[in-house]
Every structure is written in C-alpha cells, then in structure tokens.
Amino acid sequence: MRICLFPGTFDPVTLGHIDIINRALPLFDKIVVGVGINSAKKPMFSAEQRVGWIEEIFKNEPKVESAVYEGLTINFCKEINARFILRGIRYVSDFEYEKTIADANRALDRNIETVFLTGEPKYTSVASTIVRDILKNGGDASPFLPEAVINSLK
C-alpha cells in the first residue's frame, strides 16, 4: 500500500493545499494530511480546527485522512507506515528550501521518498501567512480558502 504523508501547519488550509492533495490522489493509496505542531510557531487556529477542516473537505474521499503530530516528520512517517512525503512547490525558492529538508530526511531514512508537486499557477500567491495577515486585518480571504474554512470563520 502506497501511504503518503502531506505534512504542514495548514494554518489555515488553503485552496493551494487542496489543489496539491487532489492532484496527488491518483498517485497514492492513502494520503495522511499531517498537521504538524511546531513549538516555535504560534498558530492562529487550533490543531483540532485544522484537522476538522481537512476532514470536512475530504469527507467523501476515503483515501484522505488527517492527524496531528509532533516531532520529526520522518518519525511520524514510520509511525503511520508512510513511504512517501508529499510537498507542494510554488516558487524556485520553495524548492531550494524543500530540497534541503528532503535531503536531511533521506539521510535519516533512505526508504522514505519525498515527492514534489508544483502548485497550479492560480494558487501560487496563496500562502497561509498571507491569508492569516488578511484575516488579522479584517480583510476578505475567501478567494484563497475552501468553503469549509470560509463557513467556519463566519
């Protein structure tokens, strides 16, 4: 079984994240969207809220599930028997950063492969950081967000 982990903070889940997951579906038997807890980051939304969004968005897709994890991504992969890590790439700068992490993960476990998917051009400007900024300042972030997220923010 080809199990893939799509790790991230998903604070909040954006249309860019959804695009990557949907396009990865034909490649894997199961995609676990891993909501990572990073002690260095202060999230805007609770981990439970973020998992809830993912479960709501993919309620009709049995291949997608979500989980909260802490610590090394590679260790969580072993825990859930994932042999693949999925990462979305928007810009060349994303690739440089992501390749460094992929190389470190490969050094930790050669059996877990990182797979990169490039984002659709219409979503390249969609970053959770920008969306949080819009929300904090009372702006309308709905063009960047899935319906489930928009509805819960109302």
Q: Which of 23, 39, 41, 66 is catalytic?
A: 41
Structural domain total, the chain: 1
The 84-89 sheet, strands edge to edge: 64-70, 30-37, 3-8, 84-89, 113-118
CATH code of the domain in which 136 resides:
3.40.50.620
Residue 93 catalytic? no
| pTM (2 d.p.) | 0.94
Average pLDDT, the chain: 94
- For residue 85, the enclosing domain spans 3-153
The string of pLDDT tens digits covering residues 101-111 is 999 999 999 99
Residue 132 catalytic? no
Instruction: Supply 72's token pair.
Output: 């090394």
Q: Which of 17, 50, 66, 87 is catalytic?
A: 17
Confidence of residue 40 (pLDDT cuts 50, 70, 90): confident
Backbone angles phi, psi at 131, to 5 degrees: -60, -45
Q: What is the pLDDT of residue 21?
A: 98
Residue 106 catalytic? no
Percentages (nearest 5) of helix, strand, coil residues in the chain: 45, 20, 30
